[in-house]
Amino acid sequence: MANKSMNLKQLAEHLDLSQATVSRALNGYPEIREATRNKVLAAAAEFGYRANSIARSLATGRSGNIGIVFPDNFGMMFDPHFLEFLAGAAEMLSTRDMSINLSMPDRNHESSKYADIIRSQLADGFVVNGPVRHDSRVALLQSLKIPFIVHGRTESEVPFAWVDIDNASAFQRAAHLLIGFGHRRIALINAPKHFHFAFQRELGLKQALEAAGLPFEEGLMFNEPQTEDGGYRLTNLILQKNPRPTAILCGSMILALGCLRALRDAGLEVPGDISVIAHDDVFPYIRAEAMRPALTTTRSSLREHGRRVAEVLNDIIDGKLPASYHEIVPLELVLRDSVGPVTPG
Amino acid sequence: MANKSMNLKQLAEHLDLSQATVSRALNGYPEIREATRNKVLAAAAEFGYRANSIARSLATGRSGNIGIVFPDNFGMMFDPHFLEFLAGAAEMLSTRDMSINLSMPDRNHESSKYADIIRSQLADGFVVNGPVRHDSRVALLQSLKIPFIVHGRTESEVPFAWVDIDNASAFQRAAHLLIGFGHRRIALINAPKHFHFAFQRELGLKQALEAAGLPFEEGLMFNEPQTEDGGYRLTNLILQKNPRPTAILCGSMILALGCLRALRDAGLEVPGDISVIAHDDVFPYIRAEAMRPALTTTRSSLREHGRRVAEVLNDIIDGKLPASYHEIVPLELVLRDSVGPVTPG
DNA sequence: GTTCAAGTTTAAAGCGCTTTGATAAATTGT
DNA sequence: ACAATTTATCAAAGCGCTTTAAACTTGAAC
């Protein structure tokens, strides 16, 4: 169908070498003489030879794919975040000549989905996205002995691999900053609390308040899927509180977008009347520094997470890292112009 | 690493049959006696046997993957739309035991990306997403003789496969409806005009106006990436026009969200003061029927497109459909409550 | 009872790579 | 100069499936 291109055998014949030698030369084995390797590389380039990944997989027993299943909460938790993560993973994998095997969860037998994919060797391991506080996928994958990594964290008896940011401490630091500026009533616009990261973020705020001897007010905690619309509506609710909170913490830039709009509509100045800090997942098309005022954020690139998670999963599959490996991606608190001291009145 | 499961040879031995027979039984070949097939099926189920997709691919010469490359305009065109499409494609493919090979475009040599993927047999064909009016990918893939399908359309000398909705006629019908209600000044909030679909939509509006002998006003055409924010800002611009347009056409539900908010902020009633029609890509989490007022829309599910595009691409790869196959997905005009007659004033 | 065709099943080749174990060539030591 | 190493290359096996071509069964037809 497509242009039948040269295969290893033909390349080897052309070079008057054995397939074994050509294969090794291409794959960087040390026992190949430099002169030979150069000849092989040159010929490969000349003919545009690329190893057939299928044949390689059959020989090595590795599919070269990592499996990513659409979050089953898709439609909730969702879109820009998941896609941004995907983009990072895809980017990283292409540098290692690997790919993503993307699939939808099977409503009926979601449990067998993973096993099926592994058994048919469509993927060598999985990424678990959008973990909830007690996520059953971890135990499932563990019992099936399938390599996996969680992006984020969940509560589990048995250790498992994960890569996450320190959500609690990020929001604690943000809150600490606000408290330092004299804020005492801080509202939180957050994702639904059954997500582990959302729960942790509220915890961080709580800790900062308690550390400062300030009361934690349940009534200032708002949870909603992270949409611009949600940010707008929740902010309007916040503004009805009496006395009005003097600062708002937003769980995502998308929520912040809605939040800022609501504040503008209400005729409030940031940071004059109210301070705002958001968590920035670094979407290329929503830039905190370009906003008016430039937004103070806790920042951690979701695309970067995608890259790192894919990398770590590969290393786990390769046995270079243990199945219990975990890592906290550092995160910055970027000071810009949306935080100021509380004004009396 | 993962649970070594049974392979064809072992299954055949267990059944005291040849691999050929078992393979055929499993793949539904007609020459297998019904009794034999049942035995095979039962055993396969018992042992949870799944054919190794890699080995199958090597034998058949088909990877079983379709390639999807992130739109290079990613960050523009984008997110919820692309992901929704992806979800549909993933869903469809899993019913055919196929997968998506998802990759990022290589900035440096995007042209070789496709060829590389085909040569290394990572995919059997490609979906071209988010085509612009003159999209170079079509000529590229054609010259490389790689099976592909365009989701949407583009201008090209040579015929190629595509699946699209009739954007022009959709917007023409929507405009026609508005005109029927007496509207004469209709504003359009649209994606950037270099995208083929956006261009077509404007064309449709223009045609409807001309057919009714009404003037087409360039100044009422607004183009912006399809974000809620964009819809909000552009609507505010529209409201400053004098005389004020009496109807707005929105290119997506996300734009419409922003549009409606701006109207609400301005204290305008829909459809009392102004009528609104939007194009609905059917996101599960933005429902036109749930809005206030329920929105009249042109409707065509992007997820459904993903399914159909994947299906057609497969059929083209299989040779069941010609490489010039194309199809216009029908689209509905759903009347709800956001359109009304022009009120004098 | 043969004969033939249709219906079933099988042995074996092959897909294109990696890798093992053997072999040949180059290098070293004595 | 010849054995002992080390280095570079090769032939062949094998990964797990599909598919071709051949072989074996039936059962009907004569």
For A95-109, the pLDDT digits (tens) are: 888 999 998 887 766
Q: Is there a domain that residue B208 lies in?
A: yes
Dihedral sign computed on CA atoms, order B277, B279, B281, B285: negative
Domain shared by A37 and A47, yes or no: yes
CA-to-CA distance for B45 and A154, rounded, in angstroms? 33
- Inspect the interface and report whether the beta carbons of A1 and B122 lie closer than 8 Å: no
Domain shared by B158 and B201, yes or no: no
B56 CA vs C10 C1’ separation (Å): 20
- Burial of B76 per CB tally in 10 Å (0-12, 13-18, 19+): middle
- CATH number where A36 lies: 1.10.260.40
A6 CA vs C27 C1’ separation (Å): 37
Q: Is there a domain that residue A337 lies in?
A: no
CA-to-CA distance for B206 and B179, rounded, in angstroms? 12
- Inspect the interface and report whether the beta carbons of A144 and B5 lie closer than 8 Å: no
| pLDDT at A77 exceeding the cut of 60 | no
Q: Is there a domain that residue A19 lies in?
A: yes
Domain shared by A131 and A236, yes or no: no
- Inspect the interface and report whether the beta carbons of B104 and A122 lie closer than 8 Å: no
Could you tell me if A51 lies within 8 Å of chain B, comparing CB atoms? Answer: yes
Question: Which tokens sit at A9?
Answer: 């055998």
Q: Is there a domain that residue B320 lies in?
A: yes
Nearest of A88, A119, A82, A135 to residue A104 by alpha carbon: A82
* 3-class DSSP state of B143: helix
CA-to-CA distance for A137 and A115, rounded, in angstroms? 12
Determine the average pLDDT of the residues in A204-229.
94
Domain housing B26: 8-51
Percent of chain A with pLDDT over 90: 79
Domain shared by A149 and A191, yes or no: no
Domains of chain B: total: 3
Q: Is there a domain that residue B247 lies in?
A: yes
pTM listed for this prediction:
0.89
Q: Is there a domain that residue A57 lies in?
A: no
| Confidence band, pLDDT 50/70/90 cuts, at residue A298 | very high
Could you tell me if B142 lies within 8 Å of chain A, comparing CB atoms? Answer: no
Q: Looking at residue B81, what is its pLDDT? A: 86
**Least confident range of A249-253, A291-295, A301-305, B20-24:** A291-295
H or E stretch covering A164: strand A162-165
Domain shared by B171 and B295, yes or no: yes
H or E stretch covering B190: strand B186-190
Give the helix, strand, coil percentages of chain A, each rounded to 5: 45, 15, 40
Q: Looking at residue A263, what is its pLDDT? A: 95
Q: Looking at residue B227, what is its pLDDT? A: 81
Q: HEC profile for A227-272?
A: CHHHHHHHHHHHHHCCCCCCEEEECCHHHHHHHHHHHHHCCCCCCC
Residues of chain B with pLDDT under 50: 1-2, 75-77
Q: Is residue A113 a contact partner of residue A54, using CB atoms and an 8 Å limit?
A: no
Domain shared by A190 and A293, yes or no: yes
Could you tell me if B327 lies within 8 Å of chain A, comparing CB atoms? Answer: no
Q: Is there a domain that residue A117 lies in?
A: yes
- Over the stretch A1-28, which tens digit does the pLDDT of each residue have? 345 678 999 999 999 999 999 999 999 9
Domain shared by A183 and A291, yes or no: yes
The answer to whether the C-beta of B9 is closer than 7 A to strand D is yes
| Confidence band, pLDDT 50/70/90 cuts, at residue A329 | very high
Domain shared by B157 and B260, yes or no: no
- CATH number where B154 lies: 3.40.50.2300
- Inspect the interface and report whether the beta carbons of B228 and A225 lie closer than 8 Å: no
- Inspect the interface and report whether the beta carbons of B54 and A63 lie closer than 8 Å: yes
Domain shared by A265 and A141, yes or no: no
Q: Looking at residue B108, what is its pLDDT? A: 66
Q: Is there a domain that residue A120 lies in?
A: yes
Domain shared by B150 and B195, yes or no: no
Domain shared by B121 and B238, yes or no: no
Could you tell me if B52 lies within 8 Å of chain A, comparing CB atoms? Answer: yes
The answer to whether the C-beta of A324 is closer than 7 A to strand C is no
Chain A residues whose beta carbon lies within 8 Å of the beta carbon of residue B122: 53, 99
Domain shared by B174 and B158, yes or no: no
Query: A227-247 burial, b for 16+ CB within 10 Å, e for fewer?
Result: bbbbbbbbbeebbeeeeebbb
| pLDDT at A110 exceeding the cut of 80 | no
CA-to-CA distance for A144 and A161, rounded, in angstroms? 15
Of A48, A54, A120, the CB nearest to B63: A54
User: Where is pLDDT greater, at A92 or A285?
Assistant: A92
Of B5, B87, B317, the CB nearest to A104: B87
The answer to whether the C-beta of B218 is closer than 7 A to strand C is no
- Over the stretch A115-154, which tens digit does the pLDDT of each residue have? 999 999 999 999 999 999 999 999 999 999 999 999 999 9
* Chain A closest-CA separation from residue B324 CA (Å): 15
B29 CA vs C3 C1’ separation (Å): 29
On the CB side of B334, how many CA atoms lie within 13 Å of its CA? 19
Q: What is the mean pLDDT of chain A?
A: 92
* 3-class DSSP state of B125: coil
Q: Looking at residue B75, what is its pLDDT? A: 47
* Chain A closest-CA separation from residue B292 CA (Å): 14
CA-to-CA distance for B297 and B261, rounded, in angstroms? 17
Question: Which tokens sit at B137?
Answer: 């990918």
Peptide bond into A293 cis (omega under 30): yes
